[in-house]
Amino acid sequence: MCLAVPMQVTQINGLEAVAEQSGTSVRVRLDLLDDVKIGDYVLVHAGFAIEKVREEDAARTLQILEELFNAPG
């Protein structure tokens, strides 16, 4: 199973960006997307931004992931 995590782009330098989620920053590649701007939310998988997503969708996905990780058992 693969998992892509929504993250917000905070810096861009050519085809490399820094994206942040819950205080964690990672470097991601932008090769697969066009027109990514600082502040955009992207799905990050294996170090690549694979899709732009709306902020509302990113927030809902992060909420679901948090519920899963904090579920008992």
pLDDT, tens digit only, all 73 positions of the chain: 678 899 999 999 999 999 999 899 999 999 999 999 999 999 999 999 999 999 999 999 989 988 888 878 7
Q: What is the pLDDT of residue 3?
A: 81
Which amino acid would we find at residue 25?
S
pTM of structure: 0.88
Q: What is the DSSP letter of 71?
A: S
- Helix count and strand count (H, E) for the chain: 1, 5
| Sign of the dihedral through C-alpha 52, 26, 18, 71 | positive
User: What are the residues facing 65 on neighbouring strands?
Assistant: none
Q: What is the pLDDT of residue 1?
A: 62
Asked whether the beta carbons of 36 and 50 are under 8 A apart, the reply is no
Q: What is the pLDDT of residue 71?
A: 79
Residue 66 token pair: 């948090």
